[in-house]
């Protein structure tokens, strides 16, 4: 077996020019066509690197010095940016981030979907791309006997203790620091995931942007929480916005944050927030978008692409707690939402009731099974909206959508790669992607959300 011809060696020091950025924010330099991925480097920069790892088709390097800097380089405001794995792009100017995300979407659509002619709009960014997250989920551990809480270092399970986070709402920062202080006061041990010992596993904070209400969730290894009464009193004294204090118990050896059992220790079971004029009740485990400002932008674009006149029946697959469904219901004749998670459907029904919206029905189940049943009952949707998880739509769901023959499909995606794959399928089965709008839901990170407008080919020419 011939040894692959790799033009660099581990520990070699070389000067390189960076040509591109990977989807996770590493600079790309090429030596005789062999790509090296180097974190914190930007396209157009020249620098000295040390080769730290080589594989058959690519390698990794560490940036030692920048000899020629990109005009898009920015000074990260976060003191732990270099160590924390939460953000990838703070060293790139915000304008540069938006351009990079548009470029990435365009390239992925072409490479995976063969969609070279589709119009990709410039990424819609935020006026204030900091302090936008309404939810913190922070692992808790110990370092030399001292309780720590923060995000994991990149590609590791080592907690980087975090005094504050530049993309979290300030009140979420307050919650983490207050709970850490209280845990220290009462000798509450942080969790050791290797030994499966300790009491406090995660601190979860949820904030209603429009209501300013706070929920504090203490995720513990078991039911036991020493000094529970005092802890509740101290949290209430330190955090005047708190409306709900919740304990979730997760006794399993797992990376999953929440366990099955949740108990309200004090206050209400939910807090509330608004997106536009629609009110949402948010419980400890509800799925709710973490950037409410951009969620409104995203959903308004989805509504625009749905092009509703008031006479349509709309199916919302992967409807979650009904966020998009309720937006659609304001302009549609009827909306049918389907979601596999029973708790989410329970929340969706409550949210419809909360807003007095009656032209929605929600069903629990797999969309690819529920939708054919609806079709057999005579449901003929003019519009189907999908907002799947990162893995995209199952092919059986895409097939079901095509068989239902809606005039328009609106595809909301958090992963351009699976979006491109699914658009390719729809393109081959009677549909045309008219345009794709990237929306920056997660500034300073490598993630980008997209909304796609898809129409039946026979009516594509008349649009």
Mean pLDDT computed over 210-236: 97
More confident residue, 252 or 154: 252
Tell me: pLDDT of 462 over 50.
no
Share of the chain above pLDDT 90, in %: 92
Tell me: pLDDT of 295 over 60.
yes
What local confidence, expressed as pLDDT, does residue 260 receive?
94
Mean pLDDT computed over 124-135: 98
Domain 135-271 grouped into CATH 3.40.50.740:
no
Contact status, residue 252 vs residue 259, Cβ threshold 8 Å: yes
Mean pLDDT computed over 251-279: 96
For the chain, which residues make up each domain, given as ranges?
13-68, 101-126+291-460, 135-271
Summarize pLDDT for 66-80 with one digit per residue, the tens: 999 999 999 999 999
More confident residue, 217 or 83: 217
pTM of the model: 0.92
Tell me: pLDDT of 235 over 80.
yes
What are 79's two structure tokens? 């003191």
What local confidence, expressed as pLDDT, does residue 2 receive?
52
Question: 101-126+291-460 adopts what CATH topology?
Answer: Rossmann fold (3.40.50)
- Which residue is catalytic, options 165, 319, 414, 450? 414
Instruction: Provide the edge-to-edge strand list for the sheet that holds 431-439.
Output: 119-120, 431-439, 449-456, 408-413, 383-386, 313-317, 334-339, 360-364
Mean pLDDT computed over 30-38: 96
What are 184's two structure tokens? 């220290």
Mean pLDDT computed over 231-246: 98
Q: Is 307 left (phi over 0), alpha (psi -120 to 50) or beta?
A: left
What local confidence, expressed as pLDDT, does residue 22 receive?
92
- Domains 13-68 and 135-271 are alike in CATH topology: yes
Tell me: pLDDT of 5 over 80.
yes
414 is catalytic: yes
What local confidence, expressed as pLDDT, does residue 24 receive?
84
Mean pLDDT computed over 1-12: 81
Mean pLDDT computed over 280-299: 94
What is the C-alpha to C-alpha distance for residues 92 and 249, in angstroms, rounded to an integer?
40
Q: Which of 265-269, 283-287, 456-460 has the largest mean confidence? A: 265-269
What local confidence, expressed as pLDDT, does residue 217 receive?
98
What local confidence, expressed as pLDDT, does residue 463 receive?
43
What residues contact 236, with CB distance under 8 A and at least 6 apart?
242, 245, 266
Tell me: pLDDT of 3 over 70.
no
More confident residue, 128 or 460: 128
The average confidence (pLDDT) of the chain is 95
What local confidence, expressed as pLDDT, does residue 36 receive?
97
User: What is the homologous superfamily of the domain 13-68 according to CATH?
Assistant: Nucleic acid-binding proteins (2.40.50.140)
Summarize pLDDT for 386-435 with one digit per residue, the tens: 999 999 999 999 999 999 999 999 999 999 999 999 999 999 999 999 99
CA of residue 160 relative to chain centroid, distance: 21
């Amino acid at each position: 077996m011939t040894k692959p011809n790799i033009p660099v060696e581990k520990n070699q020091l070389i000067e390189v020019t960076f040509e591109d950025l990977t989807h996770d924010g590493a600079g790309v330099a090429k030596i005789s066509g062999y790509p090296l991925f180097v974190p914190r480097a930007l396209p157009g920069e020249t620098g000295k690197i040390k080769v730290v790892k080589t594989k058959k088709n690519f390698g990794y390097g560490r940036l030692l010095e920048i000899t020629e800097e990109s005009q898009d380089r920015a000074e990260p405001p976060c003191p732990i940016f270099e160590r924390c794995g939460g953000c990838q792009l703070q060293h790139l100017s915000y304008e540069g981030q938006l351009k990079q995300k548009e470029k990435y979407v365009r390239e992925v659509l072409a490479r995976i979907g063969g969609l070279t002619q589709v119009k990709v709009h410039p990424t819609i960014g935020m006026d204030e791309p900091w302090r936008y997250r309404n939810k913190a989920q922070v692992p808790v551990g110990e370092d030399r006997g001292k309780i720590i809480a923060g995000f994991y270092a990149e590609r590791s399970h080592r907690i980087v203790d975090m005094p504050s986070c530049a993309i979290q709402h300030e009140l979420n920062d307050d919650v983490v620091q207050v709970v850490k202080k209280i845990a220290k006061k009462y000798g509450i041990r942080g969790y050791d995931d290797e030994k499966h010992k300790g009491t406090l596993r995660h601190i979860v904070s949820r904030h209603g942007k429009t209501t300013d209400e706070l929920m504090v969730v203490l995720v513990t290894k078991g039911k036991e929480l020493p000094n529970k009464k005092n802890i509740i009193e101290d949290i209430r004294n330190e955090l005047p916005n708190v409306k709900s204090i919740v304990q979730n118990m997760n006794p399993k050896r797992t990376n999953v944050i929440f366990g099955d059992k949740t108990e309200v220790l004090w206050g209400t079971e939910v807090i509330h927030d608004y997106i536009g004029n629609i009110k949402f009740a948010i419980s400890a485990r509800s799925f709710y978008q973490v950037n409410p400002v951009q969620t409104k932008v995203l959903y308004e674009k989805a509504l625009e692409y749905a092009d509703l006149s008031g006479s349509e029946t709309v199916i919302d697959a992967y409807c979650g707690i009904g966020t998009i469904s309720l937006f659609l219901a304001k302009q549609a004749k009827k909306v049918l939402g389907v979601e596999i998670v029973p708790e989410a459907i329970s929340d969706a029904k409550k949210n419809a009731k909360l807003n007095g919206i009656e032209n929605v029905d929600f069903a629990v189940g797999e969309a690819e099974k529920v939708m054919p049943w609806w079709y057999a009952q005579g449901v003929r949707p003019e519009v189907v909206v999908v907002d799947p998880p990162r893995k995209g739509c199952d092919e059986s769901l895409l097939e079901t959508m095509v068989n239902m023959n809606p005039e328009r499909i609106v595809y909301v995606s958090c992963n351009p790669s699976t979006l491109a794959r699914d658009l390719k399928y729809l393109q081959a089965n009677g549909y045309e992607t008219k345009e794709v709008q990237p929306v920056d839901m997660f500034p300073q990170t490598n993630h980008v959300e997209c909304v796609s407008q898809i129409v039946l080919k026979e009516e594509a020419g008349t649009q």
